[in-house]
């Protein structure tokens, strides 16, 4: 999709777990008629290659998903492989990518950081995975902590604290899927000069 500035669309959506990245990224890709690529799906592909059987969005919160995340934290090559693949796909353009870390690695593109309160994220994760709220909070804290440590070790990135790569930072606390989608679609169209 060419815009009035003659560039292909590259939209990267980032944020911690349960902020709404994947949900809004899919909707935006559909509305803009471009590809959607999930960093989480790419990581799941690596899990499959290592003999895991990931299934469903709540796989990360299940024992097998948590075991894979433990293995991942001890092997930085997992994330480097995923990130290299995502950079390659982004370079082709016309894509919406959700990724925890790609905005810091990607030179071009429109970069969006989604955030939400821990309570809101726990409620979303609880609904998605059928977990009690307290368990959801524990899982979120563990995933946040591990991911921050991994990306700091791999790339020197201060996940959540350094928001300098982002064009937009949107707090999704109290917003529904449709409200987040409409705000971001308007901003993307404005940025790229789309009708």
- CATH number of the domain encompassing residue 50: 3.40.50.300
Q: Quick one: angle between helices 118-129 and 133-155, nearest 10? A: 110
20-63 pLDDT tens trace: 999 999 999 999 999 999 887 777 777 888 888 888 777 877 88
Coil, strand or helix: which one is 98? strand
* Distances in whole angstroms, Cα of residue 111 to Cα of each of 50, 96, 168: 31, 10, 7
Domain assignment of residue 5, yes or no: no
- Enclosing domain of residue 96: 10-192
Q: How many domains does the chain contain in total?
A: 1
Domain assignment of residue 4, yes or no: no
Domain assignment of residue 84, yes or no: yes
115-126 pLDDT tens trace: 999 999 999 999
Domain assignment of residue 3, yes or no: no
Kindly report the pTM of this predicted structure: 0.85
Q: Any idea which of 4-8, 63-67, 144-148 has the lowest mean pLDDT?
A: 4-8
Mean pLDDT (the chain, rounded): 89
Domain assignment of residue 158, yes or no: yes
Burial 76-109 (b: 16+ CB within 10 A, else e): eebbebbbeebeebbeebebbbbbbbbbbbbeeb
How many beta carbons lie within 10 A of that of residue 127, not counting itself? Answer: 12
Domain assignment of residue 2, yes or no: no
């Amino acid at each position: 999709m060419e815009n009035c500035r003659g560039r292909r669309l590259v939209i990267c959506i980032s944020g911690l777990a349960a902020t709404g990245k994947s949900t809004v990224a899919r909707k935006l890709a559909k509305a803009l008629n471009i590809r959607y690529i999930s960093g989480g799906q790419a990581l799941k592909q690596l899990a499959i290659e290592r003999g895991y059987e990931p299934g469903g969005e709540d796989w990360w919160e299940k024992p097998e998903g948590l075991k894979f995340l433990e293995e991942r934290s001890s092997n930085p090559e997992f994330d480097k492989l995923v990130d290299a693949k995502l950079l390659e796909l982004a370079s082709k353009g016309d894509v919406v990518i959700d990724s925890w870390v790609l905005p810091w690695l990607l030179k071009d593109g429109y970069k969006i950081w989604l955030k939400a309160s821990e309570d809101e994220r726990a409620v979303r994760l609880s609904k998605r995975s059928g977990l009690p709220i307290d368990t959801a909070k524990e899982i979120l804290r563990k995933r946040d902590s591990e991911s921050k440590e991994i990306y700091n070790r791999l790339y020197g990135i201060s996940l959540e604290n350094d928001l300098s790569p982002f064009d937009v930072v949107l707090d999704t606390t109290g917003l529904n899927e449709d409200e987040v989608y409409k705000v971001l679609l308007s901003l993307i169209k404005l940025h790229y000069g789309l009708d």
